[in-house]
Amino acid sequence: MAVPLISTAVIGHKFGPYEVTIPVERANAYAKAVGGDESPDYGDSLAPIMLVAAVLTELIEDLGLFSGGLQTIHAGQEASWARPVKIGEKIDANGRLASNSVRRDNHFATVSVSYIDSTGSEIGTSSTTIIVSGEKS
Amino acid sequence: MTTNNSQRNTGDILTGFERQITQDRVDAYAEASGDHNPIHLNEKYAATTQFGTRIAHGMLSLALVTEMLAAEFPNTWHDGGKLKVRFSAPVFPGEIVRTYGEITALNEKDGELIAICTIGCKTADGRDAVVGRATVRLE
């Protein structure tokens, strides 16, 4: 089995850029998962946290966390938004490993992400902290 | 619920809601997010993990909390909102969670009024699933 990137990546390691576009089908799946009578009408926009989730999936894959034997806990999440995101809008997500330490055989890693629109403006940021166990390093 | 923001005060309770996290919702969230980790979807695999059964995506629970914020602050949450949370406990399919929030401070910054809120969601038996803080501009 290949050594997962979480074992070797150093602080500052860059991820992506991931080109993320959420089509209407995925927006509808999100509404099915999350929605209810109280839900706001987003119109042609997305809940921005959905974009964070989509990029998080890419990060987990790139970090090798789907490797057999690893167990990953999503411990913390930060996010901020400057404006709504449209369904179908192309966003580039640039990730950076902000911290990566080992304590008691558990990896503690934080990845920061900047979300950039087609004009080059940053429209949001996020920071994800994960704990990985079961890794033989 | 929407409220004229001039009426906002420290101590105001945000309007939470309950949602049952069914496996259908977890499956739909996997489609939406692209996160098909078997710990969320495959009971046989999940039985081998520390949780012993499938768990909902933490981001699904957080999404419910942000639904509350979007409903409470419809014009500003997606336009300058910030959050910081930790995932305290897993939510298992079939469980009911309730979102909650409270305005704990109102600050003025650059001529705008900013609400600081404690936010989160709990399971029906009182376990904290998501705990944190949100910052949102008031109109």
A/B interface, count of CB pairs below 8 Å? 125
Spatial distance between the Cα atoms of B73 and B1, rounded to a whole number of angstroms: 9
Q: Is the peptide bond before A23 cis (omega within 30 degrees of 0)?
A: no
pTM of the predicted model as reported, rounded to 2 decimal places = 0.93
What fold, for A5-34+42-133? Answer: Thiol Ester Dehydrase; Chain A (3.10.129)
Residues 10 through 39 of chain A touching chain B, CB cutoff 8 Å = 26-27, 29-30, 32-36, 38-39
Tell me the average pLDDT across A110-115. Answer: 97
Q: Each residue's pLDDT tens digit in chain B (139 positions)?
A: 555 566 889 999 999 999 999 999 999 999 999 999 899 999 999 998 889 999 999 999 999 999 999 999 998 999 999 999 999 999 999 999 999 999 999 999 888 999 999 999 999 999 999 999 999 999 8
In a domain, B73, yes or no: yes
Q: Is B46 within the bounds of a domain?
A: no
Give how many domains chain B has, as a whole number: 1
Answer yes or no: is B27 within a domain: no
ipTM of this model?
Answer: 0.91
| A99 touching chain B per CB within 8 A | no
- Taking 90 as the threshold, does the pLDDT of residue A9 lie above it? no
Question: What residues of B are in contact with residue A71 (Cβ under 8 Å)?
Answer: 39, 49-50
Instruction: Tell me if A116 sits within 8 A of A94, measured CB to CB.
Output: yes
Closest in A54, A75, A78 to B34, CB measured: A54
Does B132 map to a domain?
Answer: yes
3-class DSSP assignment, residue B19: strand
- Cβ distance A53 to B19 less than 8 Å, yes or no, reads no
- Asked if residue B29 belongs to a domain, the reply is no
* Cβ–Cβ gap B87/A82 under 8 Å: no
Q: Are B45 and A50 in contact (CB under 8 A)?
A: no
Q: Do A38 and B15 touch (CB under 8 A)?
A: yes
Q: Which domain holds residue B82?
A: 5-21+56-138
Q: Which residues of A touch B79 (CB under 8 A)?
A: 81-84
Dist. CA A6–CA B75, nearest whole Å = 39
DSSP string, A28-71: HHHHHHH--TT----TTEE-HHHHHHHHHHHHHHHTTTTSTT-E
**Nearest residue in chain B measured CA to CA from A51:** B33
pLDDT of residue B40: 94
Q: Which of B23, B49, B61, B67 to mutate to test the interface with A (most CBs of A within 10 A)?
A: B67
**Which residues of chain B does A52 touch, with a Cβ-Cβ cutoff of 8 Å?**
59
Nearest chain B Cα distance for residue A13, angstroms = 22
Domain locations in chain A as residue ranges: 5-34+42-133
Q: Does B81 touch chain A (CB under 8 A)?
A: yes
The CATH number assigned to the domain holding B102 equals 3.10.129.10
Q: How confident is the model at residue A137 (pLDDT cuts 50, 70, 90)?
A: very low
